A and B are shown apart, each in its own frame.
Chain A
Amino acid sequence: MRAGQQSRLRLATLIAPGTLLVAAFFGCLGVLFVQSFLPSAGMGRLGDGFTLASYAAFLGDPFYVGYLLRSIAIAVYTTAIVLVLGYVVAYHMTLCGRRMRLAISIVLLVQFFTSFVIRTYAVMLVLGRFGIANRTLQAIGLTDEPLRLLFNEFAVATGIVLTAVPYMVFPIYGSLMAIEPNLRAAAESLGATRRRIFWEVVFPLSLPGVAAAVVIVFLFALTSYIAPGLLGGGYFDMIANLIYDKAVNAQDYPFAAAAAVVSVATTLVLVYLMQKGFRLAIRGTER
């Protein structure tokens, strides 16, 4: 009896912190959800009652919906680019020597653990008027005048791609390493060329890692705030920048909340569809 109580207590202490975290998270989301249906009384104050005015204002205005669509678009193509880059890096890591693998891991991890602001600022330095990119282009004579590489969609996409690569590499690397080496040997003995071994065996078996990494990177890109903030410089804002602007600068909490709820709902649907797609592709690869 005593022992039972003790273990129950221990279990409770173990579960409590996590439960609190999850509760706080959903509590905040709940508040957001509720606020999105309240009328705004201006100057950050909330009125009483129930209204769909904020949803109508957001969804009814192509200007606002444009932020969301633009964010989805850039998230889709940056994820695709990061997938190719990340896959190549991860695949290379499974083939190269131990030293090279270590070097790549260190570069990726340093990146990974550096603040977004700093990483993004580094991209600014590269793309700036007098940055490495422009100087290189001028040196090889491709352009006389510095190009405007910053404060546009190109800069934002570049920033997202460069900062998202580690999120793509590690899950894919993990699932590539989990492939039995004998499977490649078996395919080879059955007459498969290197190319066919890759497309028939390696790639399909790495799909679980690809699926995980794609969802992570897609969400990372879709919710970008610092990349458009610094690299877009106000010329290319994404949905997170709009929500921040409405909440902090315009102090229109219900509108910001409605925009956030629509974004979250859209994201959930997209991730669900992605998962469904991947599950179809992966069928059978789980043991």
Chain B
Amino acid sequence: MHGIEFRDVAVRYGSNTVLHGLSLAIAPSEFLALLGPSGCGKTTMLRVLAGFVPYAGSVLLDGRPIDAVPTHRRGIGIVFQDYALFPHRTVAENIAFGLRMRGGAAAAIGRRVEEMLELLRLGGLGARYPGQLSGGQQQRVALARAIAIDPPVLLLDEPLSSLDKKLREEMQIELRQLQKRVGITTVFVTHDQEEALAMADRIAVMNGGRIQQIGTPREIYARPANRFVADFIGRSSLHPVRVAGDADGTWRCTREDGTALRAVGPASASPGAAFFLSVRPESIALAAPDHVDPALNVLDAVVEDVVFQGGVSHVRVRAAGGALFACEERGPGAGRGPGERVRIAWTPEDGILVPE
């Protein structure tokens, strides 16, 4: 199994810098998701790894630089967003393509193709042309073709984005199981955070050509490193606050309107420092207007709107002072309506101070 390392990799197109000197290590057999909005540089990372674009810095495979190795000798498996199956070749010929380029014996290639067809449940489709397959089948052929050459790394460029929701969720599970079974180091580019959270061992959140945070899905979600990550991953109410002092392992801070709250944050924070307070909707409890609990942050609020979605209702409330908070209520709900007076409450540990 093979590890990858990016060392200070930068990509510029003219005066436009797409990647700002990124460093990143990917462990053998790891499934890493590069997550970010379009234009954040995540696809460029893949293109660097594949050798499609010139770059500064170094890429290492198992500790050895591969910068001088051209794409066709890097042997990296890629599944493209549009699959890029050869339309004039049958499924079997598509899967055999990389093996033929390596010049194996016909019998060995045939055996490997059969193996791939079976691994990806494509039995009986070997003689079809890509145009005769469904989206999900094309996707599996693209995977089979990429894995057939037994690459050290598998790159997936938004491979599920053109499938419909149901099929996409099936393929997420299938892809994940396949990756674990084959044990291949995988880099997965996506703009879909649910996909990244569901599939990846670790996620690198990218924005503006920089890695904003790298960590397990749980870390990224529970401890966002900055405002961008808190905002981009999941839903979050974000409000500018200033640190006022510390209190029993949490930070006392104040909103612009003077509301005092407690939250957890970096140990390096000091009184007067500006942060954003991030609270997840599921951490906020809606309570009666007379609810009091000194252990919690409690604010008076008025319901703005309610979106009922079956198992969960999304409730948006406006707290005294004007700040909006997104909350969630599980179950059939209390049937709240706009204008209703409530109190919102959350534990200090669920409020996270993140830098800009």
Contacts and interface: CB of A to CB of B under 8 A. Distances in A.
A208 B249 CA distance: 72
B101 A201 contact: no
Contacts of B97: 187, 190, 192, 200
B78 A191 contact: no
B50 interface: yes
Contacts of B76: 189
Interface residues of A, number: 23
Contacts of B146: 189
Query: Which of A185, A187, A191, A282 has the most chain B CB within a 10 Å cutoff?
Result: A191
Interface in A252-286: 282-286
Interface string B183-204: 0000000000000000000000
A250 B85 CA distance: 61
B242 interface: no
A284 B87 contact: yes
Contacts of A183: 84, 86
Nearest to A192: B101
A186 B84 contact: yes
A61 interface: no
B43 to A, nearest CB: 12
A105 to B, nearest CB: 26
A26 to B, nearest CB: 37
Given A187-B97, A191-B101, A284 B89 contact: yes
A205 B87 CA distance: 8
B131 A287 contact: yes
A249 interface: no
Interface stretch (B67-75, B213-221, B311-319): B67-75
B80 interface: yes
User: For the complex, would chain B's binding face be called helix, strand, loop or mixed by DSSP majority?
Assistant: loop
A180 B76 CA distance: 20
Query: Which of A190, A205, A287 has the most chain B CB within a 10 Å cutoff?
Result: A190
Given A196-B101, A286-B131, A189 B87 contact: no
Interface in B55-85: 71-78, 80-82, 84-85
Given A185-B78, A186-B78, A287-B131, A192 B87 contact: no
A198 to B, nearest CB: 13
B98 interface: yes
Nearest to A205: B88
A201 B98 CA distance: 13
B82 A189 contact: no
B291 interface: no
A287 B129 CA distance: 9
B145 interface: yes
A193 interface: yes
B80 A185 contact: yes
A196 B85 CA distance: 16
B211 interface: no
Contacts of B77: 189
B102 interface: yes
Interface string A171-191: 000000000101101111111
A208 to B, nearest CB: 10
B113 to A, nearest CB: 13
Contacts of B101: 187, 190-192, 196
A209 interface: no
Contacts of B226: none
Interface in B127-181: 129, 131, 145-146, 149
Interface string A197-216: 00011001100000000000
Contact of B84 (A180, A200, A204, A287): A180
Nearest to B157: A182
Contacts of B90: 284
A282 B89 CA distance: 11
B72 A182 contact: no
Contacts of A190: 72, 97-98, 101, 145, 149
A287 B72 contact: no
Given A187-B97, A191-B101, A192-B101, A284 B88 contact: yes
A173 B87 CA distance: 19
Contacts of B131: 284, 286-287
A188 B86 contact: no
Nearest to B80: A182
A191 B87 CA distance: 18
A285 B130 CA distance: 10
Contacts of A186: 78, 80, 84-86, 145
B48 to A, nearest CB: 13
A287 B85 CA distance: 11
Nearest to A184: B84
Contacts of A182: 80-82, 84
A196 to B, nearest CB: 6
Nearest to A287: B131
Given A191-B72, A284-B87, 12 more contacts: A180-B84, A182-B80, A182-B82, A182-B84, A186-B85, A187-B97, A189-B77, A189-B78, A190-B72, A191-B75, A284-B88, A285-B88
Interface of B: 50, 52, 71-78, 80-82, 84-90, 97-98, 101-102, 129, 131, 145-146, 149
Q: Which 4 A-B pairs have the closest CB atoms?
A: A190-B98, A191-B101, A182-B84, A186-B84
30 contacts: A180-B84, A182-B81, A185-B50, A185-B80, A185-B84, A186-B85, A188-B71, A188-B72, A189-B50, A189-B76, A189-B78, A189-B146, A190-B97, A190-B98, A190-B145, A190-B149, A191-B72, A191-B75, A191-B101, A191-B102, A191-B149, A192-B97, A200-B86, A201-B86, A205-B88, A282-B88, A283-B88, A284-B87, A285-B87, A286-B87
